[in-house]
Structure 1
Amino acid sequence: MSPASFHEMWRELLPVGRSPRSGGYRRYAWTAADIDCRAWFRAQAEYRGLTYETDRNGNQWAWLGDPTGTDAVVTGSHLDSVPNGGAFDGPLGVVSAFAALDELRARDVRPTRPLAVVNFGDEEGARFGLACAGSRLSAGKLTPEQAHRLTDADGVTLARAMEQAGHDPEAIGPDPERLSRVGAFVELHVEQGRSLVDTGHAVGVASAIWPHGRWRFDFHGEANHAGTTRLDDRSDPMLTYATTVLAARKKARLAGALATFGKVSVEPNGVNAIPSLVRGWLDSRAADHDTLDRVVAEIRRAAAERGERDGVRVEVTRESFTPVVEFDHALRDRLTGILGGDREVPVLPTGAGHDAGILSSALPSAMLYVRNPTGVSHSPAESADEDDCTAGVTALAEVLEGLACR
């Protein structure tokens, strides 16, 4: 790999959507920052003479070889971010994909299967609340009707946002013909955890993604004056919410699972007002479906019991769910064989969702992880060392060569 290839791309992309206050990123789907990222992707494709196209769901593709060919090998990730997210989650996979193609060309490798780099839209779901919207639409996991009902915090629909960005929202929907031409999808991603740090390896291979979902808890109380209403006369949903947050931590810890209330909204949201409504979003994940179901059921039960004591009505809505993903065993073993030789290659599960997990039901998918020295992700502190990024590009290039050259 030419070091300039990776680092020049990284420097170009680094300022896009970055907050000068937090140092984190706000690259929300179909916003100005996202449009700038998409322009960057297209420029990289055209600079390399790749065939560029945008599919019906707004996902971007850059092809080396015949875009209509079969048994293609595809790599890439996403460019959008969570609120104040880090630089590596998503973009590392896209930048590394272009750099890996550069390395193959520098080595005069001539693939016999089409190769493509993809940028899937709205992977994080930060704006419209549903993760992996672009890949879900393509794989038929999200219907156009469901997608059209998605709105952001300002009431702007996904369809309207796409239209304002120049994309036709009436065209969205399943894309089986395109996906049928893909023989393998390999996504490189910064590790969101510390497993590689503990093993001492720069690169690992994914084994599975834990089942995970998002649930909205609506705590309905009674608005009243904070300075005149006696404590015993209150129906305060904030109390119920706070107790539920603590219950979620306890239930998850006892089950060896994960549960997080990371987003909350309050009405009327006044300092001197008892809330009428507290709305909190639960993210929960576990190693298996039964454990996840049990943990969420226990959290719901704790919320209902506390709500009855507080005079608060609790409603729970499941907004998204992704079952356990076992990555294609044959493809996973092929990757470990290509990268291993006489070296050990760590094979790791993760609790983080990815486009590769969504696509796994439609085509053989796999993932490579690049070591994260702190394990921190979804934060400006997210990082990867320069040498490890280079090792990731080299590993991806080896994988692409092994898969695309018969």
Structure 2
Amino acid sequence: MWRELKPLGRAAESGGYRRYAWTAADTDCRAWFRAQAESRGLAYETDRNGNQWAWLGDPLAGDAVVTGSHLDSVPDGGAFDGPLGVVSAFAALDELRGRGARFGKPLALTNFGDEEGARFGLACVGSRLAAGQLTPDRAHALRDGDGVTLPQAMEAAGHDPSAIGADPERLARIGAFVELHVEQGRALDLSGDPVGIASAIWPHGRWRFDFHGEANHAGTTRLADRRDPMLSYAETVLAARREAELAGALATFGKVSVEPNGVNAIPSLVRGWLDSRAADQPALDTVVAGIERAARESADRAGIDLRVVRESFSPVVEFQHALRDELGRILGAPPVLGTGAGHDAGILSASVPTAMLFVRNPTGVSHSPAESATEDDCVAGILALADVLEGLACS
């Protein structure tokens, strides 16, 4: 499975992956998922929001046990974030069949669409739509950097966008969702454990900062006469680091666009996107408020107009304690870890019981080609997932 996935959407110049939603690379990944499902005799379907499902047993029976993750990537992302959970789902099913397991509940393997939000700027689009956390009207308004709307992209990839929206009937048939994911940090590496269980997902969000100044000639305009939004943006980036350190939180400006984007031109607009996360809501509120305050103070001094827009937000997610405890019982009490990364499991937790397994990442690097996990640890993750699925779905 890894050999087949490896070339799909891989950028030769970086070695990373560019599997953006509803692109050719995404289509190739979707075809791979369908082939894996059909080769195992599973009933394949795509739901109204473009999420893929592979069923063992009757999808309408209810109380289904579901596992999977996503196949899309961030720009120049690594091989494991998302795909490890999907590959492990198929491998865990193979393991259970090899054990002669008898399933008492329906089992589904899934690939949720557009989890990373790399193309349209909003994470977990497929699961948000299914859970009713993203309205069809807002989804229809999403555009990529080239102005292509989400419905246009879906239609171009062969999916009918007219029916996107909440899917409560489907979610009501799920008794438990367990997502396996490579750890995005080094807690397991430091503890010496190959597999852990997630306790909670930190509250996190994305904010867009628009700094409007005045375009002018870089070679003829006196410094005193400039309304340069790049300076206010730069001060805001430094403020983000300062505020995050003070609060023990995280804050990152990882994306920026500049207009007119000329080497010899003072910008008229600098637009930067803030990603901020913290262990609790008060800490997150403190960090974002401090960053916005610093941005406005800098903008006021320089005569810059500033607009701040919250583009997405996910509150703290405490995974269902009963399901989490059951996983711990099945696996013999592995480490329980919090995480600052968002996941489809976090979105779905408001609608169905969810839990997560983490596989050790020896470098702690994620969203990068340097992301890694050893083969032994991946196998440990598969066996742990198989044990969990057996405990939840087999009689």
TM-score scaled by length of structure 1: 0.97
Offset at residue 405 of structure 1 (A): 1.7
Residue number in structure 1 paired with 2:284: 292
Residue number in structure 1 paired with 2:376: 387
Instruction: Tell me if 1:403 matches 2:395.
Output: no
Residue number in structure 1 paired with 2:193: 201
Partner SS for 1:44:
helix
Q: How does 1:6-405 map to 2 (within 5 A)?
A: 9-340=1-332, 344-405=333-394
Q: For residues 164 and 271 of structure 1, what CA distance do their matches in structure 2 show?
A: 36
Q: For residues 47 and 358 of structure 2, what CA distance do their matches in structure 1 show?
A: 27
Partner SS for 1:62:
strand
Q: For residues 389 and 135 of structure 1, what CA distance do their matches in structure 2 show?
A: 25
Taking only the aligned residue pairs, the percentage that are identical comes to 79
Q: Which moved more, 1:165-174 or 1:22-31?
A: 165-174
Offset at residue 310 of structure 1 (A): 1.1
**Structure 1 letter corresponding to 2:366:** S
Residue number in structure 2 paired with 1:6: none
Note the alpha carbon deviations across 1:50-86, whole angstroms, 9 max, x for none: 0000000000000011111110000000000000000
Q: For residues 311 and 271 of structure 1, what CA distance do their matches in structure 2 show?
A: 22
Q: For residues 153 and 186 of structure 1, what CA distance do their matches in structure 2 show?
A: 33
Note the alpha carbon deviations across 1:230-276, whole angstroms, 9 max, x for none: 11110000000000000000000000000000000000000000000
Q: For residues 372 and 257 of structure 1, what CA distance do their matches in structure 2 show?
A: 21
Note the alpha carbon deviations across 1:98-131, whole angstroms, 9 max, x for none: 0000000001001100001000000000000000
**Structure 2 letter corresponding to 1:392:** G
Q: For residues 270 and 405 of structure 1, what CA distance do their matches in structure 2 show?
A: 62
Q: For residues 345 and 90 of structure 1, what CA distance do their matches in structure 2 show?
A: 22
Q: For residues 52 and 405 of structure 1, what CA distance do their matches in structure 2 show?
A: 21
**Structure 2 letter corresponding to 1:247:** A
Partner SS for 2:184:
coil
TM-score scaled by length of structure 2: 1.00
Note the alpha carbon deviations across 1:273-330, whole angstroms, 9 max, x for none: 0000000000000011111111101100000000011111111000000000000000
Offset at residue 381 of structure 1 (A): 0.3
Q: For residues 189 and 31 of structure 2, what CA distance do their matches in structure 1 show?
A: 35
Q: For residues 211 and 74 of structure 1, what CA distance do their matches in structure 2 show?
A: 24
Q: For residues 268 and 239 of structure 2, what CA distance do their matches in structure 1 show?
A: 22
**Structure 2 letter corresponding to 1:293:** D
Partner SS for 2:357:
strand
Gaps of 5+ in 2: none
**Structure 2 letter corresponding to 1:112:** G
Note the alpha carbon deviations across 1:164-218, whole angstroms, 9 max, x for none: 1111111100000000000000000000000000110000000000000000000
Note the alpha carbon deviations across 1:126-163, whole angstroms, 9 max, x for none: 00000000000000000000000000000000000001
**Structure 1 letter corresponding to 2:359:** V
Q: For residues 253 and 264 of structure 2, what CA distance do their matches in structure 1 show?
A: 24
Partner SS for 1:116:
strand
Q: For residues 191 and 278 of structure 2, what CA distance do their matches in structure 1 show?
A: 22
Runs of 4+ in structure 1 off by over 4 angstroms are: none
- Count of equivalent residues: 395
Q: For residues 219 and 142 of structure 1, what CA distance do their matches in structure 2 show?
A: 27
Partner SS for 2:391:
helix
Q: For residues 75 and 16 of structure 2, what CA distance do their matches in structure 1 show?
A: 8
**Structure 1 letter corresponding to 2:388:** V
